[in-house]
Structure 1
Amino acid sequence: MRLAELRLENFRVFSSLDITLSPGINLFTGGNGAGKTSILEAVHLLSHARSFRSANRDVLLQEGQSHLSVFGQLLTGADVQHRLGLLRTGARWQSRIDGTQPQSLTELLRLCAVVCFEPGSHALISGPAAERRSFLDWGLFHVEQDFTLQWRRHQRALKQRNALLRQSPRESELGPWDIELAGAAVVLADYRARYLDALRPYLVGLASTFLSELGAVQLSFDPGWNADMSLLERLQQNYARDIARGFTSAGAHRADWSLRFDLASKREHLSRGQEKLCALACLLAQAQHLAHTKGDWPIICLDDLASELDAEHQALVVKSLGLDAQILITGTETPVALAPLIVDGAVRRFHVERGSVTAL
């Protein structure tokens, strides 16, 4: 899939922006604070409905304005065209697909898949388990039709059980929610484990390429409870502990997964640069899997590539993607690995000044 056009209004530094994008590589260069990352952030919003830079959505709105909008003309691999729009006035997003408002924001997010590597991506490796769960769940959202239903089922049961726990209920009162929570959690755990297995060949290949000095790669999955008993039994066993803590201590909401190397058995053994390369391998593996599963590459965003990766790894990234995916790259200067492609005319270049973008 690719964005043929991107339009912004009152978004960050852009009062108004309308650019036509290449189906291949698009390079945005300019000074610090010019708005390069904001362009990728806007594209990311059409796929995630959240920023990768800040949890505070108010910072997206240009100061002094009452609303913002992000519009994209999306073309899929089957040459199906959709006009996608996000409008924010007040506290909530309003979505539009082909000029009409869908029943839920989920419908828009399912159409547009964007994988983004940015300076904070190392949190996928070094950050809390929630980052790694979100990574799996975003991939499942796009390849497993029933995932969203089961995820919402689990969230409802977890919310109800936690609310009851804060009221010091009798164990029998928790019984129905234990059954519902365990049922949804087992399904989610199966989805997540199978998805990680499907990612394995892509991830192992990329991690071995980017970090060959660390030896063989291994992946492991933790569903969120010990395998020595069923989750339902675990919930019942943890009754007193959960009452005391006021929350559910075992379940799919505690799931995690890890990536280890023969010469770096713990994530703490990795340098910050190696964490970034691991995260990049994960994100590109997810993109490759989605391309092979759905027959259509997601849009790839690479923020500040030249400062995040050395020339050797830049070249490896470009080689791993080829020219099948639409790629949006930012930087204060042209990444070394793109120089030959620019000569061949395979890169569309843009210069970004604060509040404006000029095609070169």
Structure 2
Amino acid sequence: MPLARLDISRLRNLTHVRFEPSPQVNIIVGENGSGKTSVLEAIYLLSFGRSFRSHKHKTYIQYEQPECVVFAQVEQGAQHLPVGIKRSRDGAVEVRIQGRAAQSAVELAECLPVQLINPDAFRLLEGSPKIRRQFVDWGVFHFDEQFINGWRGWQKALKQRNSLLRRGKISANLLAAFDQELIRLGEQVNHARKAYVAALTPHFEAVLQQLAPNLHVQLGFFQGWDAQRTLSEAIEHSYQRDIDVGYTNTGPQRADLRVKTPTGDALDTLSRGQQKLVVSALKIAQGQLLIERGRQLVFLIDDLPAELDANHRRKLCRLLESLASQIFITSVGPDSMDFTWSDTTDVRHFSMNEGELSLKRTGEFNE
């Protein structure tokens, strides 16, 4: 469901930006600090309800303004679905979809799936297991309609159990009563994650083969406890330790996506450029899997040339073009966007200058 129109108000240096992007490829060129990444940030906000640049909402609301607003017309078949989010300086969030108030940010994610590839994408390899769990769970959320309810229930049961453990003295019988629901829902979450990683792996391997044929990387999934034990056995085995430390030590909350080469962890054995190719392959593979299930999504590519040579930039663009998805790419200069798109691809070039976005005519960047 591509964006047919986008309105951004009072977000960073974007006082008011309105434009109609291409349903396929959009290239935004501008100097550092001009506001081009803020356009991607606005689209991301419209999907996730939060920024990818900061967890503090006050940092992206324009200075001395009470709120920022992002509104879009999202193509849904032959119709346009109005979607909007307003984030106030006092922390209030208002989300509206087709004129009605949305119940949660989950509705945004369902309405507008967005995949981001930016310089911070390295965190997927070098960051904590939580970041990789979030990557997996985003995919499972769109892959398995039942996942979100099971995940929410498991999270609630886990918080309740940890609350009991923090109280100190607790009977085994009382804890066991909470453990039944925790184990039932935890097994559901684990099963959904494992099924998703199994489905994702062949796509990842195929994409990486196209980007870097000589790069050999394997995906593995650690479920969060000893694979030789059931979740029930693992929790029972960890009972005394949980009592001692005051929280649950084992379970799906410890899960991790393992990314390895024949000589060790990808983070330790690959160059910075190779890491970006691996992360890009993971993100594109996620997109492929979603598209196979009849969904459309938006790709946000911030600072495409960074860490990649011209050959790999062309390969990445070729893969993105083949997905038949809406793509937004930012770049500091037109000389680094050296990929020739297909004649049938609708490519629109925009220039960003001090918060002002303008559509450029064909060939104008080369003048």
So what's the TM-score if we normalise by structure 1?
A: 0.94
SS of residue paired to 2:78: coil
Cα 1:240/1:263, change in 2 over 3 Å? closer
Amino acid at match of 1:71: F
Q: How does 1:50-65 map to 2 (within 5 A)?
A: 50-65=50-65
Cα 1:241/1:335, change in 2 over 3 Å? farther
Between the aligned partners of 2:338 and 2:98, the Cα distance in structure 1 is: 35
Question: What are structure 1's unaligned runs of at least 5 residues?
Answer: none
**Residues 264-299 of structure 1: per-residue CA shift (max 9 Å, x gap):** 555311222222111111000001110111x23311
The sequence identity of aligned pairs, in percent, is 35
Q: Give, in angstroms, the shift of residue 135 of structure 1.
A: 0.7
Asked if the contact 1:314–1:335 (Cα under 8 Å) also holds between the matched residues in 2, the reply is: no
Alignment correspondent of 1:109: 109
SS of residue paired to 2:305: helix
Q: Give, in angstroms, the shift of residue 301 of structure 1.
A: 0.8
Between the aligned partners of 1:342 and 1:350, the Cα distance in structure 2 is: 18
Between the aligned partners of 1:288 and 1:336, the Cα distance in structure 2 is: 26
Amino acid at match of 1:16: H
Amino acid at match of 1:62: Q
Between the aligned partners of 2:287 and 2:21, the Cα distance in structure 1 is: 20
Question: What are structure 2's unaligned runs of at least 5 residues?
Answer: 361-367
SS of residue paired to 1:188: helix
So what's the TM-score if we normalise by structure 2?
A: 0.92
Alignment correspondent of 2:320: 321
Asked if the contact 1:15–1:355 (Cα under 8 Å) also holds between the matched residues in 2, the reply is: yes
Cα 1:335/1:245, change in 2 over 3 Å? farther
Between the aligned partners of 1:247 and 1:226, the Cα distance in structure 2 is: 18
SS of residue paired to 1:121: helix
2:305 is aligned with 1:303: no
Alignment correspondent of 1:196: 197
Alignment correspondent of 2:86: 87
Alignment correspondent of 1:174: 175
Asked if the contact 1:96–1:108 (Cα under 8 Å) also holds between the matched residues in 2, the reply is: no
Alignment correspondent of 2:365: none
Asked if the contact 2:6–2:19 (Cα under 8 Å) also holds between the matched residues in 1, the reply is: yes
Between the aligned partners of 1:182 and 1:68, the Cα distance in structure 2 is: 42
Cα 1:340/1:227, change in 2 over 3 Å? closer
Alignment correspondent of 1:128: 128
**Residues 110-141 of structure 1: per-residue CA shift (max 9 Å, x gap):** 11011010110011112111111101111121
Asked if the contact 1:94–1:105 (Cα under 8 Å) also holds between the matched residues in 2, the reply is: no
**Residues 197-229 of structure 1: per-residue CA shift (max 9 Å, x gap):** 1111110011223233333x3221111111222
Asked if the contact 1:150–1:187 (Cα under 8 Å) also holds between the matched residues in 2, the reply is: yes
Between the aligned partners of 1:174 and 1:296, the Cα distance in structure 2 is: 42
Q: Give, in angstroms, the shift of residue 349 of structure 1.
A: 0.8
Asked if the contact 1:314–1:336 (Cα under 8 Å) also holds between the matched residues in 2, the reply is: no
Q: CA RMSD in A?
A: 1.8
Amino acid at match of 2:30: G
2:43 is aligned with 1:43: yes
Between the aligned partners of 2:205 and 2:289, the Cα distance in structure 1 is: 12
The number of residue pairs the alignment matches comes to 357
Between the aligned partners of 1:309 and 1:79, the Cα distance in structure 2 is: 38
Asked if the contact 1:161–1:177 (Cα under 8 Å) also holds between the matched residues in 2, the reply is: yes
Between the aligned partners of 2:335 and 2:282, the Cα distance in structure 1 is: 21
SS of residue paired to 1:122: helix
Alignment correspondent of 1:286: 286
Asked if the contact 1:288–1:297 (Cα under 8 Å) also holds between the matched residues in 2, the reply is: no
Between the aligned partners of 1:134 and 1:279, the Cα distance in structure 2 is: 14
Between the aligned partners of 2:237 and 2:264, the Cα distance in structure 1 is: 36
**Residues 161-204 of structure 1: per-residue CA shift (max 9 Å, x gap):** 11111111222221122111111111011100101111111100
Cα 1:211/1:65, change in 2 over 3 Å? same
Q: Give, in angstroms, the shift of residue 241 of structure 1.
A: 1.0
Between the aligned partners of 1:211 and 1:327, the Cα distance in structure 2 is: 22
2:171 is aligned with 1:206: no
Between the aligned partners of 2:137 and 2:184, the Cα distance in structure 1 is: 18
